[in-house]
Amino acid sequence: METILDRFGRIVLPKKIREDFNLKAGTQIQIEENEKSIILTPIHGEPNLHMKDGVLVFSGTPLEDLGKALTKHREEGLKTIRKTNENLICSHRRPQRQMGERSGCTVCP
């Protein structure tokens, strides 16, 4: 896999590597070098977000705005709920009575 160094000396890690190593904005990375290579090693400590009694709890030092992080987490949860509910709405946006039943829409079957 290859990437290019930009004019500011930055590189972009390919998405697959970021996903495989769970790298997010603010993740600390250890940089080591030897004669012919540069080694990047993610530094993962304790997870900062965890569920406690059904509530998302943050512990640690914030690396970004916590309000934005919470908003992002909520939006991701809403996307999941919307995807689930798409199966319960006909193509004309009329809700079904129950999953598998007719929608009650005069156009849809």
Grade residue 109 by pLDDT with cuts at 50, 70 and 90. Answer: low
Helix or strand holding residue 42 (H, E): strand 38-43
Grade residue 50 by pLDDT with cuts at 50, 70 and 90. Answer: confident
d(C-alpha 2, C-alpha 70), whole Å: 34
Q: Tens digits of per-residue pLDDT, 23-48?
A: 888 888 999 999 999 999 988 766 66
d(C-alpha 100, C-alpha 103), whole Å: 9
Domain spans in the chain, listed from the N-terminal domain onward = 1-45, 47-109
32: β partners: 39
pTM recorded for the entire structure: 0.40
57, 78, 103 from 53: Cα distances, Å = 9, 20, 37
Task: Name the fold adopted by 1-45.
Answer: Pemi-like Protein 1; Chain: D (2.10.260)
Q: Tens digits of per-residue pLDDT, 55-72?
A: 877 776 666 777 887 888
Q: Are 64 and 53 in contact (CB under 8 A)?
A: no
Q: Are 83 and 75 in contact (CB under 8 A)?
A: no
User: What are the phi and psi torsion angles at 78 (to 5°)?
Assistant: -65, -35
